[in-house]
Structure 1
Amino acid sequence: MTEAGEDAPRPVVPRIRRPTDVVQLLAAGAGLTLVVLATGTAPDVVDALDGAVPTLGRGLPRTLASVASVAASLTILGVLVTVAVDAARHRRAALVQGLAAGLLGLLLGAVGERVGDAAGGVVADVLTGPRDDAALVPVVASVAFLVGADLQRRRRWRQPSRWSVLAALILGVALGSLTVLGAVAAVLLGAVAGLAVRLAAGVAPARPRDEVIRAELARAGVVVGELHTTEQAAGFLRLTGEDASGPVCITVVDPDGRGLPLVRRAGRMLRFRAAVVGRPAISQRSDLERQASSAALAGAAGVPVPAVLALLAVGPALVLAERPTDGTPLPDAGDGAVAGLAAAFAALRRLHRVGLAHGALTPDSVVLGPGGAAGFRDLRAAQPAAGELQRDLDTVALLVGGATVVGPAAAAAALQADRAPAPTPPRVAALLQPVALPAAVRRSVRGTEVLDELRRALAAPDGTVAAAPRLERFSLRAVLTVVATTVAAFLLASQLSQVSIVDEIRRAEPLWLLVALGGSALTYLGAALALVAFVPTVLSLARTTLVQVATAWLTLVTPPTVGHVGLNIRYLQRSGLGLGAAAASVAVSQVATVAATVVLLLVVGWGSGVSTSRLSLVPSTDVLLVLLGAVAVVGVLLAIPPVRHLLYRRLEPLVRQSLPQLLAAATEPRRLATALGGIVLQNAGYALALDASLRAFGASLALPTVIGVYLVSSAVGSVAPTPGGLGAVEAALIGGLTATGVPVAAALAAVLAFRTVTFWLPAPVGWVAFVHLQRREHI
């Protein structure tokens, strides 16, 4: 009699993508690209390499090799049939994948042969061999089928398939139907086809079936009932069930996730110091073993954590069975949350005393049990033998997470409670920064004042805070800056190698350079007018202009707009405005400048289509190229959710703060005219400087085109993290000028002159103005 449920359909197991398949596909693609590039760029070297491996001539050796080649081909055919039959019996999805990969391999091999024939010469001879006896297509198709059929779990067929393919390749090279590079290209092309299909379709996870897991656990004394999947990823599975004593959490890791923790940890180690990340685990199996040992350490410290019931090897998989920690999560503790948080800090200190760092503390991971005891739910990120910095980061994560539940003041009090033997670590206040927090905690405090309030609560009586330890190796901004600067320097160097910049500078017309310098001077008067118009008090125009000149010195040593904004706020405070009013006035000036600049850019785009012979509403091609390029860059950036959210967080408070004052200024025609006049004068000065710099070297463009190129390059420089947009502005200007028809030599010389008169020469004058204003106590 059949048991109940025997005929029930087996649940569908979702297919996964292995991280190792992704790495192998990238490696095969990179190798194939190198072979193609080597054949196309260094055919003589490739031909010499091919000639170094002689083929067999006529005679007995060739006859024997031909017989062996036929045997190898029949062996490959037998292996292919055997793998297909085995897959049809046990893994039908793998058979479909193998056939799809084989067909794709046939297509790619045929295309490769046609490309080789079309290229001719060494490419055809080396990659495809003789056309009447070429072996590229069958090798590619065979390799693609075997890779697509996924023989990782059929070890009995994996070795025969490898040796038969290798024998066929060696004999093909010996008989001249393949070259050495042709054999390598065939294997790589087949691997690309097979791995692409395998990644597209996914593979069945290698984990054991639920009934096998239950049987192995029963042998270890853990008898669980029906299992339910709660979390699944490549090589990782989390199940829940129940035994006679209560719920059981089961974690299963298998070879499909091999190397994934190392890749993740290596990515973190590229950004953070080793003292923050800890020692990397090579595999998920190592992670699970470390989790079990961490639970044992926590138990020795008397801290409630999930109790390990069994750690078993089930086939190629590792299974960890745990008893979840009973209790109430901290966010659900209600009135007992403050006392519970203090108990959680005490439990965390006990973990730290035995050298264990939790590594991923969030409010939900804290569990409050009966009698006021506190424990932790999950030790997946735990680090035994943790360093002092890792332990401090634990404290900070629990402090900030607890502050989101009980408030900053109560969280600070809970941290300092019952710490008579050991005071609060002085670095905790310094570590209250987003980069030091787990991702979930960081998201929960984003846009709030929690971190600032905690810093004030933990500061010393004199208000001082310990210096923050260095956490990051490289910030994302620093990496992007280095990459962008390297690319720009490479492009600039390639252009400089083609022109003589010294000869161009010698031919410059001094009169036009003086005009460029005058245009640069006008920009400071325009900036002063744009600021004066939005200040609710009377300011000296001459003194305000001098302040704008002083910002030229700060721009040399600070990121774009930072020094400019800070100095203006300081100047307005010295002029009698409060900090809020001064910041609001500067913010309104910045918003108005950006808005007017955008409108000016659109007007310039339209004006470029106007000529004396015809009236057209379509911009000229030059300006249209510049505008479309700017729109494309902005569109790509806005299409990235993190960038879009970052811009919203940065701009929304600024607009909300400045909009009322901006509307008030719009109702006063005199102030509005002054502001618009200043903004236009500022942009006109820069456009005049750029146009004069071009004319100094015998080049010229239509005025709308000059203005458009300047405005776009200014926008690029304003978002660059370098002082004054250094590097970014030059690259944007050179690219915009050369794209609109200016010769490379003239564009390089003109940009050099433009940046000299607008960025470098004003800097020492700005330093003199800065010192003068300081002595007069105007800033």
Structure 2
Amino acid sequence: MSSLSPLPSSLSPLPSSLPSSGSDAPPVRPLPTPSAAGRPLRLALCLSPLLVAAVWGLANQTLLYEGVTRLTRAEPGWLLAGAGFTCLTWVVAACMRQGAVPDRLPPGLLLASQFAAGAANHALPAGLGAHAVTVRFLRTRGVPLERATASIALYSVARSGAKTVVLVVSLLSSSAWRRLGELVPDGTVLVPVAVVVALAGVATAVVRPLRRPVTGLVRCALTDARAVHTRPCRVLALWGGAAVIPLVQASVLACTGEALGLGLSWGDVFLAYLAAGTAGGAVPVPGGVAVDAALVFALAAFGSPLAVATATVIGYRLLTDWLPLLPGALVLSAMIRAKAL
């Protein structure tokens, strides 16, 4: 048997970059990495909360100046107590968010997300900014979108239900509730709200593309609600936090009133806060403008001078919203940059 002749020296070996299975296929070029492609979008998301905070501050210069001027003459001890209660609201909100999902969430990041959610609430009405931040946080923790949305529904139901119970108990234990008759919405407000709710229900029941996601969301919410309520720690975090958070927020208002000489008892301030929040919360305005107006009228109805009541509400907003706005926007930007949101 004769041996095979060697290959001619003019033929060079195949390049290593060519695929072994294809004859004439060109080499595949690597695609750009997702981090490099999404860098401008992440940068825009990081800067957008700061832009919103700057625009809001420029549009409310008069309120900021008046609030700071009045608070400089207030008693600092009570203002520090109000700031402490303000910080406690974020802790209670984080407990409620944990109680609304069966999954265990990292406490530090959860608390930071609720602090950042306060800044987002100035851009969207009716708490939608905070809910959007929370949904995004849950998604980064591996919670599916349907379950994350269901947790928002459970959170909202628990907060509304517990606040209603606290309001009823306050009304039954106080004889000053008759002064709040002016805060009850009349037919011009209730009728359009009822019509909108009825139309939304009919559209959900009739339109099939709307019925499917709503049915799936309700089914998922009921499943998670059953899972949450089988664990006592989750029940305590959800419903206990829902009952405590309006009292903590009312304590901020009471401390501010003490600092400015409001002249009302804490019980009257609590009742005024709960009633004003219920009456003004039906109007979806960003920043709680409708609630602030109702709160001023409620404090005045209990016997406080209108000027002092206005200053108290301004100081309350300064402690709860305006002072934490820039730090909250910075935390929101940092969490977006760190891909925690």
> Displacement, 1:588?
0.9
State the alpha-carbon separation in 2 of the partners of residues 582 and 637 from structure 1. Answer: 32
Q: 1:748 to 1:660 in 2, by over 3 A?
A: same
Mapping 1:437-452, distance limit 5 Å:
none
Give, as a single letter, the amino acid of the residue that structure 2 aligns with 1:558. L
Q: 1:646 to 1:685 in 2, by over 3 A?
A: farther
1:183 matched residue in structure 2:
none
Partners of 1:529 and 1:677 within 8 A in 2: no
Aligned pair partner of 2:240 in 662, 677, 687:
677
State the alpha-carbon separation in 1 of the partners of residues 227 and 290 from structure 2. Answer: 36
Q: 1:528 to 1:651 in 2, by over 3 A?
A: farther
1:625 matched residue in structure 2:
179
Give, as a single letter, the amino acid of the residue that structure 1 aligns with 2:198. H
Partners of 1:697 and 1:746 within 8 A in 2: yes
Q: 1:739 to 1:537 in 2, by over 3 A?
A: same
Mapping 1:192-591, distance limit 5 Å:
505=71, 507-591=73-157
> Displacement, 1:669?
2.5
Partners of 2:98 and 2:105 within 8 A in 1: yes
Q: Deviations over 1:736-774 (max 9, x none)?
A: 100111111211111110011111111111112112212
State the alpha-carbon separation in 2 of the partners of residues 736 and 650 from structure 1. Answer: 37
> Displacement, 1:516?
1.2
1:773 matched residue in structure 2:
335
Q: 1:510 to 1:679 in 2, by over 3 A?
A: same
Q: 1:755 to 1:674 in 2, by over 3 A?
A: same
Aligned pair partner of 1:748 in 303, 310, 327:
310
Greater share of helix: 2
> Displacement, 1:573?
0.6
Aligned pair partner of 1:715 in 259, 274, 278:
278
Q: Deviations over 1:453-488 (max 9, x none)?
A: xxxxxxxxxxxxxxxxxxxxxxxxxxxxxxxxxxxx
The secondary structure found in structure 1 opposite 2:166 is helix
Q: 1:716 to 1:554 in 2, by over 3 A?
A: farther
1:739 matched residue in structure 2:
301
Mapping 1:52-63, distance limit 5 Å:
none
Q: 1:594 to 1:764 in 2, by over 3 A?
A: same
Partners of 2:67 and 2:314 within 8 A in 1: no
State the alpha-carbon separation in 2 of the partners of residues 744 and 635 from structure 1. Answer: 27
1:693 matched residue in structure 2:
256
State the alpha-carbon separation in 2 of the partners of residues 571 and 746 from structure 1. Answer: 40
Structure 2, unaligned stretches of length 5 or more? 1-65, 206-213
1:592 pairs with 2:135: no
Question: Normalised by the size of structure 1, how large is the TM-score?
Answer: 0.32
> Displacement, 1:502?
9.1
> Displacement, 1:589?
1.0
Question: Normalised by the size of structure 2, how large is the TM-score?
Answer: 0.70
Q: 1:676 to 1:721 in 2, by over 3 A?
A: closer
2:322 matched residue in structure 1:
760
- Once the two structures are aligned, what percentage of the paired residues are identical? 30
Q: 1:690 to 1:674 in 2, by over 3 A?
A: same
Give, as a single letter, the amino acid of the residue that structure 1 aligns with 2:129. G
Mapping 1:649-688, distance limit 5 Å:
656=218, 658-688=221-251
Q: 1:749 to 1:677 in 2, by over 3 A?
A: same
Partners of 1:716 and 1:732 within 8 A in 2: yes
> Displacement, 1:693?
0.7
Q: 1:690 to 1:636 in 2, by over 3 A?
A: same
Which stretch shifts more, 632-641 or 521-530? 632-641
Specify the structure having the higher radius of gyration (Cα). 1
State the alpha-carbon separation in 2 of the partners of residues 504 and 743 from structure 1. Answer: 15
State the alpha-carbon separation in 2 of the partners of residues 542 and 650 from structure 1. Answer: 41
Q: Deviations over 1:39-69 (max 9, x none)?
A: xxxxxxxxxxxxxxxxxxxxxxxxxxxxxxx
Mapping 1:41-80, distance limit 5 Å:
none
> Displacement, 1:708?
2.2
State the alpha-carbon separation in 2 of the partners of residues 711 and 723 from structure 1. Answer: 19
Greater share of strand: 1
Q: Deviations over 1:691-736 (max 9, x none)?
A: 00100111242333222222233334543333222x3122111101
State the alpha-carbon separation in 2 of the partners of residues 659 and 704 from structure 1. Answer: 36
The secondary structure found in structure 2 opposite 1:673 is helix
Give, as a single letter, the amino acid of the residue that structure 2 aligns with 1:714. G
State the alpha-carbon separation in 2 of the partners of residues 503 and 733 from structure 1. Answer: 21
1:729 pairs with 2:291: yes
The number of residue pairs the alignment matches comes to 266
Structure 1, unaligned stretches of length 5 or more? 1-499, 609-619
Mapping 1:105-184, distance limit 5 Å:
none
The secondary structure found in structure 1 opposite 2:185 is helix
> Displacement, 1:540?
1.6
Q: 1:636 to 1:649 in 2, by over 3 A?
A: farther
State the alpha-carbon separation in 2 of the partners of residues 701 and 648 from structure 1. Answer: 43
State the alpha-carbon separation in 1 of the partners of residues 202 and 135 from structure 2. Answer: 22
Partners of 1:637 and 1:644 within 8 A in 2: no
State the alpha-carbon separation in 1 of the partners of residues 69 and 204 from structure 2. Answer: 46
> What is the CA RMSD across the aligned residues, in angstroms?
2.9
The secondary structure found in structure 2 opposite 1:549 is helix
Give, as a single letter, the amino acid of the residue that structure 1 aligns with 2:253. L
Q: 1:671 to 1:502 in 2, by over 3 A?
A: closer
2:15 matched residue in structure 1:
none
State the alpha-carbon separation in 1 of the partners of residues 320 and 156 from structure 2. Answer: 20
The secondary structure found in structure 2 opposite 1:525 is helix
The secondary structure found in structure 2 opposite 1:633 is coil
Partners of 1:530 and 1:675 within 8 A in 2: yes
Higher relative contact order (CA 8 A, sep 6+): 2
State the alpha-carbon separation in 2 of the partners of residues 584 and 701 from structure 1. Answer: 40
State the alpha-carbon separation in 2 of the partners of residues 513 and 638 from structure 1. Answer: 37
> Displacement, 1:554?
0.9
State the alpha-carbon separation in 2 of the partners of residues 714 and 651 from structure 1. Answer: 28
State the alpha-carbon separation in 1 of the partners of residues 189 and 201 from structure 2. Answer: 12
The secondary structure found in structure 2 opposite 1:539 is coil
Partners of 2:185 and 2:279 within 8 A in 1: no
State the alpha-carbon separation in 2 of the partners of residues 651 and 759 from structure 1. Answer: 35
